[in-house]
Structure 1
């Protein structure tokens, strides 16, 4: 009996996994095209070829489906294992170019629009995405840290550098989506890479000044 039932159970699981994947693929496409609010279960059913009643069976409700789409998009954009080894800065920029050119890359900015509201179901997921991106960059920077650098000070400077670099990459991504013919993506990324490489030594040699310190210095200079 066990021998007979096990293959049947695996086949059911395979059918369930395939249905789930098709629903997620359709939802991701539609969310990127129309946004969350203007996408219904009926739309997803028609696009995926899966019955409307199967969608809540897999994901409970629309929030559950949105969260599943977001989690998969985040994992695809920044896999958990990506920074188990230390990438080069060139690989970081290659990742960004690949992400911009990927299908439905606009979804990350659809998610951002939803995440800006603290009550959105995807707010925490987008925070996780940004944290993972910054954490990967910090890991790379930490591997370049010179011997003798104060760990506490260096960590603060690496964190600030990672935030700046991540912001630039996201900004280029957004421009490429809105104005794809307005500039050369590879040239823009190479330019930023050269700029950050040129100033990399300053991450550890020049502690980042606080906003108050900069204001005080400006006042002193004006006086």
Structure 2
């Protein structure tokens, strides 16, 4: 096989994988994990159904790839933040919450609470990764006495998730900008963040 042919094949493989993950992300967000089939994903992505097990092994492997991609994108976004910049972080949270793909978190939550469901472990992995990212940012500032980075990360992630859930259910009743601004004001009142 020539180098250019091998390169084209590798590019096609990567593009198929990308399309499958994008389609699965959208469908899992719209319908849930259990209600989404390989046929649905193939139709949405334009990639053959047989490619799914070839790329991911099974549906749970595809779910793992979806969660890994979400975590990686959040890590990239978090790494781009200036240390201690609460305003920048809050602006990103508003953008993140409004993003159509974040509906995935709410949809999977209903299935993830069942301990034997495939989303249960993946959702736990997602929460762990998000807490780690929040903790990394929290550790950039001096915390008040008695406030641990791990516990504060859990509290902040819980607030973000709760705000997101409330906004998804009743977007007219929750003003994201004002709500996240209030979170920022509370943080600034007890911690030495920059603006």
Q: What is the aligned counterpart of 2:73 among 73, 76, 79?
A: 76
Report how many residues are paired: 192
- TM-score w.r.t. structure 2 length? 0.84
Query: Is contact 2:29-2:108 (8 Å) kept?
Result: no
Of residues 128, 139, 153, the one that matches 1:142 is 139
Question: Structure 1 stretch 4-13 or stretch 89-98: which is displaced more?
Answer: 89-98
Q: 2:106 aligns with which of 95, 104, 109?
A: 109
Match of 1:65 in 2: 62
- Structure 1 residue 87, shift from structure 2 partner: 4.4
Match of 2:118, SS?
A: coil
Separation in 2, partners of 1:137, 1:20: 29
Mark the runs of 5 or more structure 1 residues left unpaired by the alignment.
Answer: 202-223
Conserved? CA contact 1:83–1:136, under 8 Å: no
Bigger radius of gyration among the two: 1
Q: 2:111, 2:119 within 8 Å by CA — same for their partners in 1?
A: yes
Provide closer, same or farther for how the CA distance between residues 101 and 115 of structure 1 changes in structure 2, counting only shifts above 3 A.
same
User: What TM-score does the superposition give when structure 1 sets the normalisation length?
Assistant: 0.75
Q: 1:15 to 1:87 in 2, by over 3 A?
A: farther
Runs of at least 5 residues in structure 2 that lack an aligned partner in the other structure: none
Q: Give the Cα separation in 2 of the matches to 1:194 and 1:84.
A: 18
Greater relative contact order structure (CA < 8 Å, 6+ sep) = 2
Answer yes or no: is the 8 Å Cα contact 2:114–2:120 preserved in 1.
yes
Q: CA RMSD in A?
A: 2.5
